[in-house]
């Protein structure tokens, strides 16, 4: 990130973010360098992200969608740290979709790593200009001046000028040369690493309107959208006249839609004067559906297909090293097991919604959307309806949970379709049933595993035949099967490339079920499967589970682009978190009574290295209580907001436990059977872990995100602890399907 000293300031500030997600770091609202303002300006706005008024109040733009991960607070903290401004003098505003801000998606725990370095430079550049303005005012060398607490101080004379007083002159100064921008020494940070409450916390706890579902506009109408209960189906006819005659109903019509499961699905729209009127009319709606081929889907049939495919020819080979058959033939012990997990929903607290206002006079469309991926939403509207991007304004509204669901934009394109038929702003709100039954689901899966250990207790062979789910899509004129997000196994997944003898295979079952990224895609289930089976092998070998894993990892770093999604994998970092969690948990030093036990797991996910130990108690009747979870994570050189980081770890542990214990979607005749929280259970407060111990390892690596890495190891750690407590293995999710009682 260090620009040559002779590079122009325009080139430096315009290109310094190329290596970090193409964020445009220009000075000015368009991303280019701002021209100096006229003398006497009311504000100093050195970039599209920063504005300082004459009272010294700093307004910072948060460009990433806020979905509960705390990014609206943490990224502005980075600017504020370098700017040397007290947090009480900072105001945060949510940025709309704007090319000047660069990439604005929030998913894959990428918001922090793609913006962290650039936001440091934004703050440092603004600070540099303010210091220069003070030096010119006093006619002293810049080297004698420094910034602190929203003011510039002249060292020799102790004179001080607040940022507000410097605004008129600072606004006229050119952007600094690259060599003039010096980042702070992390040892001098006063804000980063501290606990800062979320900027929206007060509004959230007092019930103020913040979320997409809260949007209100003058003259607004309210819409619902009914889709075929069978995935891929479409409406043939509906009792539209009867619906239009109901109180409060303004419009009712069929939208043809497309065959794209991730786009505008066909359905029936009802527009009314209130959400209640729309929902009431929805209950009276009678539709004749063309259910299509998806009506033949059932989970029982998928399970039978997966069982029939196990070990049969036709699977795609993902990795083949050595001679697995020979390794198994020579093994002292051979272990076989099958693991399975169902489709599940994101079940975010706020159902999908979007407000849209189409203005036919000029062909413009304005959107208010709680989205994780505003650019993708805008693009989908453009490709679906031909509305140019420059005629679409998209306001990013805080989301009541996302977990990957709001990376999809189907609810946005539905609102846009309805708005074009209604001469008023219209808010589309999904019912809870819509949200659960028309999600873009985490795909189910089946793993058929074999592993062999030698007489010394060393793992000598590993085989996994993974049966997953895929949609048929058109790519470059060809029809192909595309596995669902998180439903495709990488040949580099642990412990594959660590073993001399390894065979990884994958079979895809074609379906019409829409699938999308679910928190820690792939990792959230692969970690459970792999570390549960590794635990089986460790016990078969008579080995300590921690020692067995350390031996598996070895001492050789595997760095050159071989990790998850092309990310390098540092064995040293993983060994360190595993050793640290063993120490912090007192692994091997406790005596557990029957019905109590501890389990361990680790995983590399979204650039984060995490190891966890779970301690559980299982009653004789099979009631589980997670007594303690110890988490050690390495996410780089700096924790940005300690409060937010702790919240993310605790939330991931609880979400991981919830997902392990309860949620399951059954599919019959192409339909999701479950409909609401009465039959789609989530963790309740009494079930949460009694204690969660959090430990961050600071390392000399780039800072990364924390929304996902902690979730994957939780399930295997708990299941391994259950085995230690009861002798029972959990090989099917959810956990509620396994009888844990013991005598």
Q: How confident is residue 12, by pLDDT bands cut at 50, 70 and 90?
A: very low
H or E element that contains 595: none
Residue 18 has pLDDT above 90, yes or no: no
Which phi-psi region, left, alpha or beta, contains residue 265 (left: φ > 0; alpha: ψ -120 to 50)?
Answer: beta
Residue 4 has pLDDT above 50, yes or no: no
Lowest mean per-residue pLDDT among 182-186, 275-279, 563-567, 568-572: 563-567
What global pTM score does this model have? 0.93
H or E element that contains 242: helix 240-244
Residue 29 has pLDDT above 60, yes or no: no
Residue 24 has pLDDT above 80, yes or no: no
Q: How many other CB atoms are found less than 10 A from the CB of residue 481? A: 14
Q: Is 501 helix (H, G, I), strand (E, B) or coil?
A: coil
* Contact present, 152 and 24 (Cβ < 8 Å): no
Q: How far apart are CA 179 and CA 580, in angstroms?
A: 40
Residue 559's pLDDT is 57
Percent of the chain exceeding pLDDT 90 equals 89
Mean pLDDT of the chain: 93
Residue 39's pLDDT is 58
For the chain, the residue count is 743
For 545-585, give the secondary structure using H, E and C.
HHHHHHHHHCCCCECCCCCHHHCCECHHHHHHHHHHHHHHH
Residue 323 has pLDDT above 50, yes or no: yes
Chain centroid to Cα 350, Å, comes to 16
Residue 586 has pLDDT above 70, yes or no: yes
Residue 707's pLDDT is 94
Residue 20 has pLDDT above 80, yes or no: no
Over range 224-235, report the average pLDDT: 97
Residue 568's pLDDT is 77
Q: What is the pLDDT of residues 153-169, one digit of tens each?
A: 999 999 999 999 999 99
Output phi, psi for 402, to 5 deg.
Answer: -140, -65
**The tokens of 265 are what?**
């699905």
Q: What is the pLDDT of residues 102-111, one digit of tens each?
A: 999 999 999 9
Is the CATH number of domain 9-185 3.30.365.10?
yes
Residue 147's pLDDT is 98
Residue 409 has pLDDT above 90, yes or no: yes
Residue 507's pLDDT is 96
- β-pairing, 267-272 vs 249-255, is antiparallel
Is the CATH number of domain 217-293+353-429 3.30.365.10?
yes
Q: How far apart are CA 133 and CA 52, in angstroms?
A: 14
Percent of the chain exceeding pLDDT 70 equals 93
Residue 560's pLDDT is 46
Residue 188 has pLDDT above 70, yes or no: yes
Residue 566 has pLDDT above 50, yes or no: yes
Lowest mean per-residue pLDDT among 14-18, 427-431, 506-510, 665-669: 14-18
Residue 497's pLDDT is 85
Q: How far apart are CA 117 and CA 124, in angstroms?
A: 11
Q: How far apart are CA 688 and CA 91, in angstroms?
A: 35
Residue 36's pLDDT is 60
**The tokens of 663 are what?**
């949620």
Lowest mean per-residue pLDDT among 7-11, 60-64, 520-524, 720-724: 7-11
- β-pairing, 151-154 vs 160-162, is antiparallel
Nearest to 220 by CA among 397, 423, 432, 430: 423
Chain centroid to Cα 585, Å, comes to 28
Which is higher by pLDDT, 561 or 65? 65
Residue 168's pLDDT is 96
Domain ranges of the chain: 9-185, 217-293+353-429, 299-342+441-737
CA 139, 142, 144, 150: dihedral to nearest 10 degrees?
A: 100
Over range 263-272, report the average pLDDT: 97
Residue 643 has pLDDT above 50, yes or no: yes
Residue 238's pLDDT is 98
* Contact present, 209 and 355 (Cβ < 8 Å): no
Q: Is 214 helix (H, G, I), strand (E, B) or coil?
A: helix
Give the up-direction half-sphere exposure of residue 645: CA atoms within 13 A in the CB hemisphere: 26
Q: How confident is residue 311, by pLDDT bands cut at 50, 70 and 90?
A: confident
Residue 243 has pLDDT above 60, yes or no: yes
Question: In 371-393, which positions are buried (b, 16+ CB within 10 angstroms) versus exposed (e)?
Answer: bbbbbbbbebbbebeebeeeebe
Residue 563 has pLDDT above 80, yes or no: no
Residue 492's pLDDT is 86
Over range 311-337, report the average pLDDT: 95
Residue 688's pLDDT is 97
* Contact present, 115 and 49 (Cβ < 8 Å): no
Q: What is the pLDDT of residues 327-342, one digit of tens each?
A: 999 999 999 999 999 9
Q: How far apart are CA 35 and CA 48, in angstroms?
A: 13
* Contact present, 519 and 485 (Cβ < 8 Å): no
CA distances from 537 to 147, 331, 334, 533, 593 (A): 59, 12, 9, 6, 23
Residue 493's pLDDT is 86
What's the CATH class of domain 299-342+441-737? alpha beta
């Amino acid at each position: 990130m260090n620009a040559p000293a002779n590079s122009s300031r325009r080139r430096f500030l315009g290109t310094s973010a190329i290596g970090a997600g193409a964020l445009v770091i220009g000075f000015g609202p368009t991303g280019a360098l701002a021209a100096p303002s006229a003398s006497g300006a009311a504000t100093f706005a050195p970039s599209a992200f920063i504005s300082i008024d004459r009272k010294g109040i700093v307004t910072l733009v948060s460009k990433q969608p806020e979905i509960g991960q705390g990014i609206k607070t943490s990224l502005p903290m980075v600017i504020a740290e370098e700017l040397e401004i007290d947090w009480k003098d900072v105001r945060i505003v949510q940025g709309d979709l704007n090319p000047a801000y660069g990439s604005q998606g929030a998913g894959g725990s990428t918001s922090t790593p793609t913006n962290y370095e650039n936001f440091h430079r934004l703050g440092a550049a603004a600070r540099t200009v303010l210091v220069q303005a003070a030096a010119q005012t006093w006619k002293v060398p810049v080297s004698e001046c420094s910034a602190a607490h929203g003011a510039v101080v002249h060292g020799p004379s102790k004179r001080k000028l607040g940022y507000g007083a410097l605004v008129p002159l600072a606004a006229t100064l050119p952007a600094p040369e690259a060599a003039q921008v010096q980042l702070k020494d992390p040892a001098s940070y006063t804000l980063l690493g501290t606990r800062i409450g979320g900027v929206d916390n007060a509004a959230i706890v007092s019930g103020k309107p913040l979320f997409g579902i809260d949007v209100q506009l003058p003259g607004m109408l309210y819409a619902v959208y009914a889709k075929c209960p069978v995935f891929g189906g479409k409406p043939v006819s509906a009792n539209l006249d009867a619906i239009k005659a109901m109180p409060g109903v303004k419009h009712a019509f069929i939208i043809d839609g497309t065959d794209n499961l991730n786009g505008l699905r066909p359905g029936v729209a009802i527009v009314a004067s209130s959400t209640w009127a729309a929902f009431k009319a929805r209950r009276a709606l009678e539709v004749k559906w063309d259910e299509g081929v998806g009506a033949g889907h059932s989970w029982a049939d998928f399970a039978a297909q997966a069982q029939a495919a196990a070990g049969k020819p036709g699977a795609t080979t993902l990795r083949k090293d050595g001679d697995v058959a020979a390794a198994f033939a020579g093994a002292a012990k051979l272990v076989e097991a099958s693991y399975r997990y169902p489709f599940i929903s994101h079940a975010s607290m706020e159902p999908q919604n979007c407000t849209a206002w189409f203005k036919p006079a000029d062909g413009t469309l304005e959107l208010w959307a709680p989205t994780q991926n505003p650019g993708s939403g805008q693009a989908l509207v453009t490709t679906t309806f031909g509305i140019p991007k420059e005629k679409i304004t998209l306001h990013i509204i805080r989301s009541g949970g996302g977990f990957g669901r709001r990376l999809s934009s189907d609810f946005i394109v539905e609102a846009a379709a309805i708005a074009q038929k209604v001469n008023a702003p219209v808010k589309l709100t999904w019912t809870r049933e819509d949200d659960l039954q028309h999600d873009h689901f985490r795909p189910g899966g089946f793993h058929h595993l074999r592993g062999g250990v030698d007489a010394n207790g060393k793992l000598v062979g590993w085989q996994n035949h993974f049966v997953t789910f895929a949609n048929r899509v058109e790519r470059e004129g060809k029809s192909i099967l595309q596995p669902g997000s998180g439903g495709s196994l990488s040949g580099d997944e642990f412990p594959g490339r660590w073993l001399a003898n390894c065979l990884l295979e994958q079979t895809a079952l074609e379906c019409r079920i829409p699938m999308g990224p679910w928190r820690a895609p792939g990792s959230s289930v692969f970690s459970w499967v792999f570390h549960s089976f590794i635990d089986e092998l460790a016990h078969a070998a008579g080995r300590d589970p921690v020692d067995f894993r350390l031996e598996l990892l070895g001492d050789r770093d595997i760095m050159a682009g071989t990790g998850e999604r092309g990310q390098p994998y540092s064995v040293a970092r993983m060994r360190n978190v595993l050793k640290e969690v063993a120490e912090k948990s007192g692994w091997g030093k406790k005596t557990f009574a029957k019905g109590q036990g501890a389990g361990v797991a680790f995983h590399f996910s979204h650039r984060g290295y995490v190891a966890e130990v779970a301690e559980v108690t299982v009653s004789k009747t099979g009631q589980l209580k997670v007594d303690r979870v110890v988490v050690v994570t390495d996410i780089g050189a700096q924790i940005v907001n300690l409060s937010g980081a702790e919240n993310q770890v605790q939330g991931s542990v609880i979400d991981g436990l919830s997902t392990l214990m309860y949620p399951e979607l059954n599919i019959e005749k192409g339909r999701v059977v479950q409909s609401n929280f009465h039959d789609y259970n989530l963790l309740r407060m009494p079930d949460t872990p009694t204690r969660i111990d959090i430990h961050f390892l600071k390392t000399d690596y780039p800072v990364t995100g924390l929304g996902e890495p902690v979730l994957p190891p939780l399930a295997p750690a708990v299941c391994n602890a259950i085995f230690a407590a009861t002798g029972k293995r959990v090989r099917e999710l959810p956990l509620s399907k396994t009888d844990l009682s013991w005598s």
